[in-house]
Amino acid sequence: MDDIRKIIHIDMDAFFAAIEQRDFPQYRNKPLIVGGTPDSRGVVATCSYEARQYGIHSAMPSSQAYRLCPQAIFVKPRFDAYRQASQTIRKIFTDYTERVEPLSLDEAYLDVSDVQLHQGSATLIAKAVKATIKRETGLVASAGISYNKFLAKIASDMDKPDGLYVITPEQGACFAGQLSIDKFHGIGRATARKMQALGIQTGKDLRKLSLALLQQHFGKSGHHYYNICRGIDHRPVNSQRTSKSVGVETTFQQDIKARPEVMAQLHSLLEKALEKVAEKRLAAYTLTVKIKYHDFVQITRSRTLPHAVTATTGTLAILEDLLRNTDIGTRKVRLLGITLSSLENQSRLTHFQQMDLFN
C-alpha cells in the first residue's frame, strides 16, 4: 500500500465575498452578493454564507437573489484583489509541495505523497496549509483529503465552511457508491438527467452497468464513470497544466444594435482577454467572437491566425471580417464575448508586443 497517493483539494470558502468582508468591515456578518446589481441582467458570482441562508447561490440571476433577500448588499467584483489573494495562496501551496494543480483562482489540488513534513500525514499538512492561509490572508479554506483527485474534491465540499474531511482508501468505493449522481464532479445536469432516465440515482446504481453499456450510452466518458463509481481515479496532479482557452463576455443591461457600438465593446473585451493571456505568460492563435441576440439565439465566429493574436489594427480588421456574416447592425444584441484559444507558451514567440487597441 506504499504507492497510495495522498491528494489534498483546497477550496476557498466564498472566496470573492470573503475578500470583500475582510477588506470592508461593514460587510461582515451580513448577506453579501458579489456580482451584477439587482436591476441588471447580471448574475451572482459569489455570495457570503449569510446570503446562502436565503437560498442564494452562484450563477443565480441577481434580480432573483434580490427577491429572495432584498436587504442583501450587492457589490461589483474587484478582480485585482482576488488575483492578488490567489497569488499569495498559491505561494503558500508551493511552500508545502511543488506538485500543485490550480483549477481556478480559489481552488487547487496538491499531491503530498512524497512530502515528509508533519510526519508525512496528508491530514496534518492540510491543517497546516489551512492555518497558513488564514494567518497570511485572513481567509478561510476547506480541505478534502483522499487517495485520488475525484474523492479529494468531493471531500472538500463535505464540511464547508472551514472544513477538513478525509476519505481513506478503505472508504472510497463505499463512499462513491452512496453518492447521489448529481453530486459527482464531472457529471453535469444533462448527463445526470440521462443517467436518471436509465434508473441510475447513485454510484451504486452506476456500478450495475457494464463498461460496454456505459460506453454505449456515454462514449469515451463511460470508462471514467465506470471507475469513479468504484472510487478509482488515476489522473495525476498536473503542475504543468495549461489553460485551453481564456474568455471574457458581457451581458448588456439594455440591448445594443449599432455596429460601431458592437465593435467598441468587442475591442474592450479583446483587450481584457489579452491581459488575461499575458498574465499566464501565454500567447493565443485562435480568436472567437460570441454573439447572443435579443431573442437568445447564439452564434460564434472563429479565426485561427499564423501569428499570435495581439491588439494591432490587423486583429481589429479580423474582428470586422468575423462580423460580416452576422446580423450585427440589423438585430439587437444581448451579449458579446471574446475567447482566445490555441494557447502556447510565450517563449515560442520571438517578438510579442501588445499595442493599444485604439491606436
Active site residues: 107
For the residues of 244-308, what is the DSSP string, one character each? SEEEEEEEEEEEE--HHHHHHHHHHHHHHHHHHHHHTTEEEEEEEEEEEETTS-EEEEEEE-SS-
Torsion of CA 117, 120, 121, 127, to 10 degrees: 20
Grid cell of 210 as nine digits = 457494464
28-to-19, 20, 44, 48, 89 alpha-carbon distances in Å = 10, 9, 18, 9, 22
For every residue of 105-164, DSSP letters joined together read TTEEEEE-TT--GGGG-HHHHHHHHHHHHHHHHS--EEEEEESSHHHHHHHHTTT-SS-E
